[in-house]
Chains A and B, each alone.
Chain A
Amino acid sequence: MAAVTRIRSRTVSLPATNIDTDQIIPARFLTATSKAGFGKHLFADWRYDPQGNPRPDFVLNRPEAAGCRILVAGRNIGCGSSREHAPWALQDFGFDAVVSTEFADIFRTNCLKNGLLPVLLDESTHEWLLAHPGVEVDIDVEHTTLTLPDGAAVGFPVEAFAKYCLVNGVDELGFLLSKDAAISRYEQNHGKVPG
């Protein structure tokens, strides 16, 4: 995985709360067997009308959304299905970070495993960002701060190991594989029949 240290971009706001992963990428697009190409189906049922034409009023279809790498979403994004296709679609579309006040557990994990940064902010900063789409913010992953246009830096939590992996481009599977001896010991102590 490529290292993620700094994300500097204008934001796009999607104020809906409880955006579930079925909205991020509807199930009918999950039959693909590779990770590529989900971006065109991102938010498909909100983005396109039944004939497949882009809905001009949907934020991601508006010209000012082009090139934005930071999505500011309403509270509790990513609930529902465990589909990792959701972060794949967000990344393939061009997002590097998702900002909210609450992330569903599996979605947050899936984002981190792919280098898509979940930025959990306090409510007042989040509210301000939602209300001011298009502002330029600067995210420092190592110091876990998001700097607003007025220069104020706001902190956000990222689990220590996940941050280490992001900043250094470390791959978690490699880390797990390095624990092979401990895993073998565990297996020997617990026999063939688990439980």
Chain B
Amino acid sequence: MATPPKTMFEKVWDAHVVVPETPDTPAVLFIDLHLTHEVTTPQAYTELRNRGLKLRRPDLTLATMDHSTPTRTEQVFGGAPIAVDSAAKQVRQLEINAREFGVELFDLRDARRGIVHIIGPELGITQPGKTIVCGDSHTSTHGAFGALAFGIGTTEVGHVLATQCLLQRKPKTFAINVIDDLPKGVTAKDLILAIIGRIGVSGGTGHVLEYRGRAIEKLSMDERMTICNMSIEAGARAGMIAPDATTFEYLKNTPRAPRGADWDAAVARWSRLPTDAGAFFDRSVDIDAASLVPMVTYGTHPGMVAPITGSVPASGDAVFEKALKYMGLEAGEPIGNVPVNNVFVGSCTNGRLSDLRNAANVLRGHKLAQGVKMLVVPGSQSVKRAAEAEGLDKIFTAAGAEWRESGCSMCLGMNGDLVPAGHYSISTSNRNFEGRQGVGARTLLASPQTAAASAIRGRVTDPREFS
């Protein structure tokens, strides 16, 4: 009998079941790659130590430092200490844990260091068909390669360290069909913000999203990562995109991709991953890409998003009103009138080389508007070097922006890179929660192009005015 058609998610899931689930017990699922960082691991290592356990698969585990690390060159490479004491201690603790348990660590001065979700793909260890986890919700990023990748808590980090497995109930599937093509000047960031606006911040709860359709197939890997990255902002467990020639082209010759005959075998295997015709999804939604324009958030979660050409909507809801009050905005206000004091280009959503190019192309030959502060933080040291080789850093600094070492930085403000209270910050990151970029900071999420255009005018600006 022919096997029934399967979704890509089911193929990856089925290939990793160590012990099948029963009504009484979840499945034991094998994890192919465990990415780790300084913030969500210390308590997991303590647990291992207390129980006298070893790391089961150091060869499938990688550690980097990104969340609480400084971005000022003198703090990373000079003698200046890390400004936040507890952050310095946490970074040291990761060094101790990595040494004791035998984990490969890209430490502060390592040329391969960067945001955990940027370096996995760069190294070529993010691959189609893998199960990938990390104590970080944006692990969904790696789904852009056709991997099943999701964030876990610290207890589960401990489970993976000790057993290379997780206890999991099988999630449901949700097809996001993106119909038609994205218009010129509308980016992957605008598309994912529109998708979140449409399905809501809990619309994907319990589901693995699969982004499908012509607009998705045409996206570069960087753009696909931007899309999958924000799956968690729709509440989804994970987001996936089918691997294709674009995926293979990206991975080929990355430092840790398979070589020679292994490469050919891998491509043959990966080519069987896309969802079979007629496979069943628990839910689906159609998104018309052709009608989209650049998108900007105006509230305190990523679902509060509007077209840049539109205005702040009205709602009788008290929670909505509270969000607008926090943002200092009123219903009916044109989005294009919102002032901008701070600009952040970076993060695992938009901190890759093409993102920096897109921002630099808008900024070239311009200056930041009076009073605007702009921080450009590459997603990894390798992105930083590549950007400098192209002279992008010069474009940013000539405009008056600051150019930093890589890290999470102002995406979550753990390292001291903060937006002052009351300031409007247009940011290429993924979360506009209250206080995310600093106590009282007012975050507007947007694409690198929109961030750069807004930096020039000092208010939210449609980047298509500069093309």
Interface residues of A, Cβ cutoff 8 Å to B: 15-18, 20, 22-23, 26-28, 30-35, 45, 50, 74-76, 79-84, 102-106, 109-110, 113-114, 159-161, 164, 172-173, 175-177, 179-180, 182-183, 186-187, 190, 192-195
Given that A27-B413, A82-B153, A194-B60 are contacting pairs, would A76 and B439 also be in contact in the complex, using a CB cutoff of 8 Å?
A: no
CB-CB < 8 A to A81: which residues of B? 136-137, 412, 431
CB-CB < 8 A to A190: which residues of B? 30
User: Whose C-beta in chain A lies nearest to the C-beta of B23?
Assistant: A160
A104 to B151, CA, bound (A): 12
A114 to B158, CA, bound (A): 13
Please tell me if the beta carbons of A31 and B28 are within 8 angstroms of each other in the complex: no
Number of interface residues of B (CB under 8 A): 77
Please tell me if the beta carbons of A30 and B414 are within 8 angstroms of each other in the complex: yes
CB-CB < 8 A to B137: which residues of A? 80-82, 106
B84 to chain A, nearest CB (A): 7
B425 at the interface (CB under 8 A from A): no
Please tell me if the beta carbons of B25 and A183 are within 8 angstroms of each other in the complex: no
Interface residues of B, Cβ cutoff 8 Å to A: 18-19, 23-26, 28, 30, 32-33, 39-40, 42-43, 46-47, 51, 53, 56, 59-60, 67-68, 84, 86-87, 89-90, 93, 127-130, 135-137, 151-156, 158-159, 162-165, 167, 169, 171, 201-202, 205-206, 232, 235, 237, 258, 262, 266, 269-270, 301, 319, 322, 412-414, 421, 431, 433-436, 439-440
B9 to chain A, nearest CB (A): 15
CB-CB < 8 A to B439: which residues of A? 26, 45, 50
CB-CB < 8 A to B237: which residues of A? 105
A50 to B439, CA, bound (A): 8
Please tell me if the beta carbons of A34 and B46 are within 8 angstroms of each other in the complex: yes
User: Can you list 7 A-B pairs with a CB-CB distance of less than 8 A?
Assistant: A16-B322, A82-B40, A82-B135, A82-B153, A113-B155, A172-B155, A183-B56
3 closest A-B pairs (Cβ-Cβ)? A31-B86, A194-B32, A84-B153
A186 to B31, CA, bound (A): 11
A164 to B128, CA, bound (A): 35
A110 to B433, CA, bound (A): 20
Please tell me if the beta carbons of B431 and A84 are within 8 angstroms of each other in the complex: no
B248 to chain A, nearest CB (A): 13
A17 to B304, CA, bound (A): 13
Please tell me if the beta carbons of A22 and B433 are within 8 angstroms of each other in the complex: yes
CB-CB < 8 A to A15: which residues of B? 319
CB-CB < 8 A to A183: which residues of B? 18, 28, 30, 56, 163-165
Q: Add 6 more A-B contacts to A26-B439, A81-B412 (CB < 8 A).
A: A82-B137, A84-B43, A105-B171, A176-B159, A192-B59, A195-B269
Contact of B18 among A34, A103, A164, A182 (CB under 8 A): A182
A177 to chain B, nearest CB (A): 6
Contact of B434 among A23, A28, A34, A180 (CB under 8 A): A23
A187 to B18, CA, bound (A): 9
Please tell me if the beta carbons of A45 and B319 are within 8 angstroms of each other in the complex: no
Please tell me if the beta carbons of A17 and B319 are within 8 angstroms of each other in the complex: yes
Contact of A176 among B28, B127, B171, B412 (CB under 8 A): B28
Given that A74-B319, A194-B32 are contacting pairs, would A110 and B413 also be in contact in the complex, using a CB cutoff of 8 Å?
A: no
Please tell me if the beta carbons of B153 and A109 are within 8 angstroms of each other in the complex: yes
Please tell me if the beta carbons of A31 and B39 are within 8 angstroms of each other in the complex: yes
Please tell me if the beta carbons of A104 and B414 are within 8 angstroms of each other in the complex: no
Given that A32-B86, A179-B163, A183-B164 are contacting pairs, would A113 and B153 also be in contact in the complex, using a CB cutoff of 8 Å?
A: yes
A15 to B319, CA, bound (A): 9
CB-CB < 8 A to B127: which residues of A? 195
